[in-house]
Amino acid sequence: MNSVFPHIIISALLLLNIAGTANARNSEYLTNENIGLLDTLDSMLAHADDYVQVKEDRISRLRDKFMHTADTEQKYWAAAGLYDEYAAFDSDSAMAYADRCHSLARELGREDLTVNAELNRIYVLTATGLLDKAEAALQKLDASRMNSGQLLTYCDRNINLASHRDQYVGYSMPDTAETRRINRIVDRAMTQIGTPQESYGWLAGWNGLSEAGDFRDKIRADLLSRLQGSKFETRDDALDAYVLSRIYDYSGDKPSKLKYLILSAIADIRGSVREIASLEEVAGILKDAGDFERANNYINYCIACADSYHSRVRMARLGQVKDQILSTLYHHSKEQGEANRRMVTILIAVVAALILMFLFIIRQMRQLSVSRKGLSDANANLHLNIEELHKTREELNEANARLSELYANARKNAEILSDTNEAKEKYIASIFSICSEYITKLDDFRKNIHRLIVAGKSDELLRMTKTPELPYGEMKELYRHFDRIFLQIYPDFVADFNTLLREEERIALRSPDFLTTELRIYALVRLGLNDSVKIAKFLHISVQTVYNTRQRTRNKAAIPKETFADAVMRLGKASI
């Protein structure tokens, strides 16, 4: 019976794992960042009516301006502003104001404004699914007579027409004749007008999708730069993000594709755009990922937008996607029901096995209780022994700690003694060198005097022994040797000494190789010569000068005066 239980439990776990795997299809799209963006998108859809109200208020103000404008040209621009607001929001109103712009442009006799109005009409024809009329209207336009802005719009209308035609059959391959034709138009336009600030992503992105390698990477970098810091609330932001999603789709980066589709949908919702495509693609991805509730909500919103906008192309496409979602949901529910039935069967078997195992365990526990009672006394005795062992171990640890402390102190003292001995050895060597040098100088001085005596030059001898320049120069040389040797042995002495002083009283050397009289006095203190009389004799200055200097330095100390000399004697470590 014991061998049966594990097999039953493992079977149940495998079934749960299969169900979890089925619910995580295409989970490579759903990174933590994308899940957060989907939550934001859900929140924005819940407040979509608020964005629509803001747009309608703006349209109402523009409509009032249009109604109260008498000048024909001003009326044209007011109508053009209303078209811009309605273009992706209400196709009937957008067409009405495009027609009104067309008639006003003719009244003004402005061919350029007439072309603008015709390009606007083509957009509405394309968006509502009247593709043949849109194509015929495009063919009537002469691109060679357009200005740079009109040329950009003309390219956009060609791309828009091709993308809407593809809605019936899915996205076309990047090397079709239609795609190549549009690419030629876009290339020619961008060659004539350079890199446009607006619609760049839409035009260059379309052109870059058929390319590979560096050019598509450049387009992606340009679009990422344009979207940096964007609030994703304009139509251009939506188009840039949409093109980025297509570029990432070609490169196989699924999480980034979904990310920018969601950001494009967010921009469309904030702008109350009803001519929306990105949200439809997000719904399709979520459908494949098993998130049917979100997919269904997004498609319903898209259908409502397409119906309100009277978009024949999108209604046909969205109907197919809606049918796919419902069909997938039906099959998923059916599979889930069968999986649930299998799970319930296995869970019943598992519960029965667990009951039998529970009874078996009770019997085993009764048998163990007898053994436990016998072990209880042995455990009590063992516990006493463990306590004694624990006390012994604590005493041993304390002894080890004391021994370690003594060893550390001994090692520290040994290091200090070693440093001191090495410093003394170096001092002795330097002193012998100086003494030898002075013996040589003294012998040279003796020879010079002897020469003068033999030569009978008593006046010159008197003059040479009378002048103080000789001992003064030798003292300076002695100080130079002392400073050099001391700073070689204690290179950090000056910096360490300054830490004992208040910041405003710290000493700066005029030369890095020479000490001041103040520092020279305390250098001797560091070497153990703390008697002011001996210091005065060594430096050939008065005892009062030494006393006053030491008193003045202690007054500048950042530490208590009483401990200043001791602190100086502990400064630095000899550099041997």
Residues 8 and 15: beta-carbon distance below 8 Å: no
Residues 343 and 15: beta-carbon distance below 8 Å: yes
Model-level pTM? Answer: 0.52
Residues 84 and 49: beta-carbon distance below 8 Å: no
Say yes or no to pLDDT of 121 above 90: yes
Say yes or no to pLDDT of 198 above 90: no
Residue type at position 459: D
- What is the pLDDT at residue 189? 67
* Residue with more model confidence, 411 or 224: 224
Rounded to whole angstroms, the Cα distance separating 398 from 400 reads 5
Name the band, by pLDDT with cuts 50, 70 and 90, for residue 250. Answer: confident
Say yes or no to pLDDT of 170 above 60: no
Residue 208 neighbours by CB under 8 Å, 6+ apart: 215, 216, 218, 219, 247
Residue appearing with tokens 């436990």: 372
Residues 568 and 522: beta-carbon distance below 8 Å: yes
Rounded to whole angstroms, the Cα distance separating 55 from 308 reads 15
Name which of 13, 17, 23 is nearest 335 in CA terms: 23
How confident is the model over 311-334, as pLDDT tens digits? Answer: 766 666 666 666 666 676 666 666
Rounded to whole angstroms, the Cα distance separating 37 from 25 reads 19
Residues 532 and 546: beta-carbon distance below 8 Å: yes
Say yes or no to pLDDT of 67 above 70: yes
* Residue with more model confidence, 572 or 351: 351
Rounded to whole angstroms, the Cα distance separating 323 from 532 reads 105
Residue 333 neighbours by CB under 8 Å, 6+ apart: none
How confident is the model over 504-523, as pLDDT tens digits? Answer: 999 988 888 889 999 999 99
Q: Give me 201's structure tokens.
A: 């992503």
How confident is the model over 455-479, as pLDDT tens digits? Answer: 877 777 777 676 655 567 778 888 8
- What is the pLDDT at residue 425? 58
Angle (nearest 5°) at CA 546 between 544 and 549: 105
Other CB atoms closer than 10 Å to residue 119's CB: what's the count? Answer: 21
Q: What sign has the CA pseudo-torsion 270, 275, 281, 286? A: positive
- What is the pLDDT at residue 13? 46
How confident is the model over 422-448, as pLDDT tens digits? Answer: 655 566 556 656 665 666 777 677 777
Say yes or no to pLDDT of 190 above 70: no
